[in-house]
Amino acid sequence: MSFRAAADPPFYAATFEKTPAAAALTDIGRTLFFDVSLSASGTQSCASCHDPRHSFGPPDDAAVQRGGADSRQPGVRAVPSLMYAQNIPPFTEHYFDDEGDDGIDQGPAGGRTWDGREQSAHDQARLPLLSAFEMANSSPDAVVGKLLRANRAAQFRRIFGDSIFNDKDLAFRAVLLALETYQQSAAEFYPYTSKYDAWLRHEASLSDVETRGLSAFNNPAKGNCARCHPSALRKGAFPQFTDFGYAAIGVPRNGAIPANADARHYDLGLCGPLRTDLADRKYYCGLFRAPTLRNVATRRVFFHNGALHSLEDAVRFYAERDTEPQNWYSRDARGKTIKFDDLPVQYQGNVDVQPPFDRHLGDAPALSETDIKDILAFLQTLTDGYVLR
């Protein structure tokens, strides 16, 4: 962590004619986030896919959301929640935790999107504004043109200075900065108001089943979930339920994604095809960033390809992947289960085989039925908005 004295000017201070106040940026960012007039179709805003009623994740159970100028172009991945992203480090191939672990290289971590190809929320906002299957603007200029038509000009001039529209690139950067700043507003994006947070503050107690669920979640011989989704306070900092790291966990192929109609198409995460700079690192094929599990109970699609539609299935997948793969994967023409059916054979060695994934066909699963129910109860405690009694 680096600290900046309150008196220091913000990093964007010299960018605009006027230095905007954070509160003004947050307000304008919120307006832009919900503004459908910024899309080519005129019907889609950031909030259409990142719905605040679902923790800024997908509004429904569709594996991928549609967008584009005609609102019909399917996306290729499930929409992640935008909450608790404030501490995601920039992408690195060699992540060293700032404490403990004595300088062990934990491998790739950080970055935005499921494959970390964007470095910050600032860069990230360009993507949906310009992507053909999202808000589908043809250029930054087109976005700025829409601002002018939507009568936001006066507001922008007031906040960024009268000359803001003299340079369209600068005006576009103002849009990105506002969206980024809005996503850093704690009250909306990282309030820490779950029952679990109240329990960490000693303001609430967990029920027996929730307590058992937490312990099965942490137990290395059971869920071992905290290995990648850390649950404990660290030096007083509240847990994010992700270590920001990458893993291939062998999520089943999702036939509901139109791109998957082509049997030769695979979304391999870190090694491509959406991400292009690590295409030669075959040991990264199939790896995706572990998402936060905060507010996960408000989702109806799970994993990068939205293959599963209930939290119970998502947890059960961890229990049964290796012991009963026939429950999860498709079959070949002779009826044989194709384990890891969303990964070409040559990359299947990248899949994680540490507990709970250390079992074999027919073994007892790492999680019993009771453990699964208990973990589900525990995961419900991670939903924000818990009211203290």
Residue 214 found at the interface with ligand HEC (CB under 6 A): no
Residue 109: CB minimum distance to ligand HEC, A: 11
Q: How many angstroms separate the Cα of 255 from the Cα of each of 132, 265, 338, 362?
A: 22, 11, 14, 27
Among 40, 83, 135, 159, binds ligand HEC (CB under 6 A): 135
Q: Does 129 bind ligand HEC (CB under 6 A)?
A: yes
Selected range binding ligand HEC among 185-193, 255-263, 314-322, 343-351, rule: CB under 6 A = 314-322
Confirm or reject binding of residue 112 to ligand HEC (CB under 6 A). yes
Q: What residue type is 34 in one-letter code? A: F
Q: Which of 91, 114, 165, 190 binds ligand HEC (CB under 6 A)?
A: 114
* Residue 222 beta carbon to ligand HEC: minimum distance, rounded to whole angstroms: 8
Q: Mark 3-42 with x for binding to ligand HEC (rule: CB under 6 A) and - for no binding.
A: ----------------------------------------
Among 79, 171, 271, 382, binds ligand HEC (CB under 6 A): 79
Which of 279, 352, 373, 383 binds ligand HEC (CB under 6 A)? It is 352
Among 30, 50, 152, 212, binds ligand HEC (CB under 6 A): 50
**Rounded Cα distance, 38 and 376, in Å:** 39
Q: Does 303 bind ligand HEC (CB under 6 A)?
A: yes
46 binds ligand HEC (CB under 6 A): yes
Residue 123 binds ligand HEC (CB under 6 A): no
Q: Does 80 bind ligand HEC (CB under 6 A)?
A: yes
Which of 49, 83, 144, 214 binds ligand HEC (CB under 6 A)? It is: 49
Q: Which residues contact 67 (CB under 8 A, 6 or more apart)?
A: 39, 41, 44, 48, 49, 73, 75, 128, 131, 133, 134, 135, 136
- Candidate ranges 1-9, 47-55, 95-103, 200-208; the one touching ligand HEC (CB under 6 A): 47-55
Q: Which of 122, 158, 227, 309 binds ligand HEC (CB under 6 A)?
A: 227
Judged by CB under 6 A, does residue 350 bind ligand HEC?
A: no
Q: How far is the CB of 172 from ligand HEC (least distance, A)?
A: 12
Three-state SS across the chain? CCCCCCCCCCCCCCCCCCCCCHHHHHHHHHHHHCCHHHCCCCCCCHHHHCEHHHCCECCCCCCCCEECCCCCEECCCCCCCCCCCCCCCCCECCCECCCCHHHCECCCECCECCCCCECCHHHHHHHHHHCCCCCCCCCHHHHHHHHHHCCCHHHHHHHHCCCHHHCHHHHHHHHHHHHHHHCCCHHHHCCCCCHHHHHHCCCCCCCHHHHHHHHHHHCCCCCCHHHCCCCCCECCECCCCCCCEEEECCCCCCCCCHHHHCCCCCCCECCCCCCCCCCCCHHHCCEEECCCCCCHHHCCCECCCCCECCHHHHHHHHHHCCCCHHHCCCECCCCCECCCCCCCHHHHHHECCCCCCCCCCCCCCCCCHHHHHHHHHHHHCCCCCCCCC
**Count of residues near ligand HEC by CB under 6 A:** 49
The reply to whether 224 sits near ligand HEC by the rule CB under 6 A is yes
Taking the complex as a whole, the smallest distance from the CB of residue 171 to ligand HEC amounts, in Å, to: 15
Sole binder of ligand HEC in the list 20, 30, 40, 134 (CB under 6 A): 134
Indicate whether 278 belongs to the interface with ligand HEC (CB under 6 A).
no
Reply yes or no: is the peptide bond before residue 128 cis, omega within 30 of 0. no
Which residues are at the interface with ligand HEC (CB under 6 A)? 44, 46, 48-50, 65, 67, 75, 77, 79-80, 82, 85, 112-114, 121, 124-125, 128-129, 134-135, 179, 223-225, 227-229, 247, 249, 251, 274, 288, 290-291, 293, 296, 299, 302-304, 314-315, 318, 352, 356, 375
